Structure 1
Amino acid sequence: MRIDQDGAEPPYQQLRTQLIDQIMRRLLPAGTKLPAVRTLAATLGLANNTVAKAYRELEAEGYVVTAGRAGTVVADIAPVDEAAALRAGELTLDYVRAMRRLGLGDDAILGTVRQLLWAGHAKGPAI
């Protein structure tokens, strides 16, 4: 991973984006333990809080699970094969385009998905 300290995107966001890419391409498969915050911060030349913020956002989005002293591990989120990944991308793009036609922005689209997913958790496996 490389972080551009002078880039337009904040370092925590660059880290988050690169980790998501590696998770979704299964370069970091489910169950992989991520480096400790301090270790990764030192390796990348970042502040501990920068890495911690990226990890918190990844956890909130379901990409990783933090298990206290056991560390942070990659969640089972990536599609199993390339065909499934491609189809998931197509469906997501269709959904985002439809929501944009309704006039919704990024936060509203993400909020709608989160609300639906949490409703599904409360009701069981129907969704």
Structure 2
Amino acid sequence: MVDKNLITLDENSGVPIWMQLRNRLVYLVVSGTVAPGSKLPTVRDLSSFLSVNYNTVSKVYRDIEKDGYVITRRGKGTFVAEVNSEGFQAADAKAAIDLLVDTFLEQAKELGLSESDAAAAVAHRAGGMFV
């Protein structure tokens, strides 16, 4: 069983709760912190533990199942899928990039920057780094 204490959310973050939960669960799977075959907490148990709406947790579980990170077995629960680096490389990279961008935008917002100002700052700073 996956330790619920590994799953943390920041209510003060500008990142939506469902996105934080999704990113955290994907990270735990991809990083190997939770082993393939490990059982996730039930939707009801996790929603109660995190004080998050049941439907939010259910949505995240369905989303990460669709992406192949977990497998739900009717009447048994939701389990971490076997993740191979070839099949998940693109999804893993996208999840990592989404998390970086979300964190950056949250911090930029706290500094009072608009989205367009933040984007301009990134473009200026990158200035050909990716060419």
Measured against the shorter chain, the TM-score band is 0.5 to 0.7
- Contact 1:30–1:75 under 8 Å retained in 2: yes
- Contact 1:31–1:75 under 8 Å retained in 2: yes
Alignment of 1:1-16 (within 5 A): 1-16=7-22
TM-score by length of 2: 0.58
The offset of 1:64, in angstroms, is 0.4
- State the identity %: 35
Once the two structures are superposed, residues 10-38 of structure 1 have per-residue CA deviations (whole angstroms, 9 ceiling, x without a partner) of 11110110011110111111100000000
Alignment of 1:79-90 (within 5 A): 79=85, 88=89
Q: Which residue of 1 aligns with 2:109?
A: none
- Contact 1:24–1:78 under 8 Å retained in 2: no
Q: Tell which has more relative contact order, 1 or 2 (C-alpha 8 A, sep 6+).
A: 2
**Gapped regions of structure 2 (runs ≥ 5):** 1-6, 95-131
The offset of 1:78, in angstroms, is 4.6
Q: Which residue of 1 aligns with 2:63?
A: 57
Alignment of 1:44-123 (within 5 A): 44-79=50-85, 88=89
**Gapped regions of structure 1 (runs ≥ 5):** 94-127
Distance between the aligned counterparts of 2:12 and 2:55, measured in 1?
A: 18
- Contact 1:23–1:63 under 8 Å retained in 2: yes
Spell out structure 1 runs of 4+ moving beyond 3 A. Answer: none
Aligned-pair Cα RMSD in Å:
2.0
Once the two structures are superposed, residues 46-104 of structure 1 have per-residue CA deviations (whole angstroms, 9 ceiling, x without a partner) of 1111110110100010000111111100000154xxxx9xxx58xx69xxxxxxxxxxx
TM-score by length of 1: 0.60
